């Protein structure tokens, strides 16, 4: 028993009511934990490490939608391109260029989110608002034809300060709306923000995709 089933079912129905997609973050948890949730009908799973994702994808059902939510190195892009469902953490133009290159080779279109830096910590990755705007214009010019930029992703500061987290999420929401205005009529519709300890604040700020691990699978070692 890996999954807190009651909590998962409650969470899933609460989020579904609000049209928010739940990505179950299974990093560091065994394949058996994913199978437990899969048996309840869940299909969206999030992983942070390429090798771990490859190992799990190999043994688990093929209809799982794998979300790569970690920091992706350019030299590992090639390995996940054939089967990844959504890459959340695109945090540099270099990475976007590499995803374009590898996606073109396999002849597929790859869905990604651009990561925005909203936290006060220096360790978190991502673009600032200005860089995002510049990038939006390149996207509009179809510089990355094999990449579908579906939206934005961000991580708030790890702090008890609710006001600060709320502000960071609102900043991300604002950037999301601005980019949507630059890319009218596009597939730019996903706002990925909110984790176990702050997803309620993210809901208030208008998220439509949350990435939740420990609340479902228990804390990680
Ligand atoms: C680990 C992780 C999560 C899930 O964190 P929990 O606190 O366990 O819900 C969400 N997003 C990213 C980017 C992560 O690395």
Per-residue confidence of the chain (221 residues) as pLDDT tens digits?
Answer: 889 999 999 999 999 999 999 999 999 999 999 999 999 999 999 999 999 999 999 999 999 999 999 999 999 999 999 999 999 999 999 999 999 999 999 999 999 999 999 998 777 789 999 999 999 999 999 999 999 999 999 999 999 999 999 999 999 999 999 999 999 888 999 999 999 999 999 999 999 999 999 999 999 87
According to the model, what pLDDT value does residue 54 have? 98
Query: What's the CA-to-centroid distance between 220 and ligand 1, angstroms?
Result: 10
Query: What's the CA-to-centroid distance between 47 and ligand 1, angstroms?
Result: 9
- Determine, yes or no, domain membership for 60: yes
Domain holding 185: CATH number?
A: 3.20.20.10
- Determine, yes or no, domain membership for 30: yes
56, 77 contact by CB (below 8 A): no
According to the model, what pLDDT value does residue 1 have? 81
CA distances for 2 relative to 21, 36, 201, 217, angstroms:
21, 7, 26, 6
User: Residue 123 — φ and ψ, nearest 5°?
Assistant: -85, -10
> Which residue has its alpha carbon closest to ligand 1 atom 5?
213
According to the model, what pLDDT value does residue 124 have? 72
Whether residue 213 has its Cβ less than 6 Å from ligand 1: yes
Whether residue 28 has its Cβ less than 6 Å from ligand 1: no
Total domains in the chain come to 1
- Determine, yes or no, domain membership for 195: yes
| Residue 176 region by backbone torsions, left for phi larger than 0, else alpha for psi between -120 and 50, else beta | alpha
Whether residue 196 has its Cβ less than 6 Å from ligand 1: yes
For residue 79, what are the domain limits?
5-215
Of all atoms in ligand 1, which is nearest to the CA of residue 217? 8
Query: What's the CA-to-centroid distance between 5 and ligand 1, angstroms?
Result: 19
Q: How many residues does the chain have?
A: 221
Whether residue 126 has its Cβ less than 6 Å from ligand 1: no
According to the model, what pLDDT value does residue 206 have? 98
Of all atoms in ligand 1, which is nearest to the CA of residue 23? 10
- What's the pTM value of the predicted model, to 2 decimals? 0.97
- Determine, yes or no, domain membership for 109: yes
According to the model, what pLDDT value does residue 81 have? 97
Query: What's the CA-to-centroid distance between 160 and ligand 1, angstroms?
Result: 16
Looking at 50-161, list the stretches that DSSP marks H as alpha helix, in order from N- to C-terminal side.
Answer: 50-59, 77-80, 93-106, 129-140
Q: Which of 25, 199, 218 has most ligand 1 atoms within 8 Å of its beta carbon, as the pocket-test mutant?
A: 25
According to the model, what pLDDT value does residue 202 have? 98
- Determine, yes or no, domain membership for 153: yes
According to the model, what pLDDT value does residue 58 have? 97
- Determine, yes or no, domain membership for 128: yes
- Determine, yes or no, domain membership for 220: no
- Determine, yes or no, domain membership for 221: no
């Amino acid at each position: 028993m890996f999954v807190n089933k009651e909590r998962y079912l409650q969470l899933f129905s609460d989020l579904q009511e609000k049209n928010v997609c739940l990505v179950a973050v299974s990093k560091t948890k065994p394949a058996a934990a994913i199978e437990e949730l899969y048996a309840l009908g869940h299909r969206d799973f999030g992983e942070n490490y390429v090798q771990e994702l490859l190992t799990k994808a190999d043994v688990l059902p093929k209809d799982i939608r794998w979300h790569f939510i970690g920091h992706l190195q350019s030299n590992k892009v090639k390995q996940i391109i054939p089967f990844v469902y959504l890459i959340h953490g695109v945090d540099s133009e270099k990475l976007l260029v590499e995803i374009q290159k590898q996606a073109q080779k396999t002849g597929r279109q790859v869905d990604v989110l651009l990561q925005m830096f909203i936290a006060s910590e220096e360790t978190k990755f991502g673009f600032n608002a200005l860089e995002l705007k510049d990038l939006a214009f390149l996207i509009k010019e179809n510089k990355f034809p094999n990449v579908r930029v579906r939206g934005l992703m961000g991580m708030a500061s790890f702090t008890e300060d609710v006001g600060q987290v709320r502000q960071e999420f609102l900043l991300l929401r604002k950037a999301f709306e601005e980019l949507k205005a630059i890319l009218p009529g596009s597939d730019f519709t996903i706002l990925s923000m909110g984790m176990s300890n702050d997803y309620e604040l993210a809901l208030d700020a208008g998220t439509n995709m949350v990435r939740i691990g420990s609340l479902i699978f228990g804390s990680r070692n």
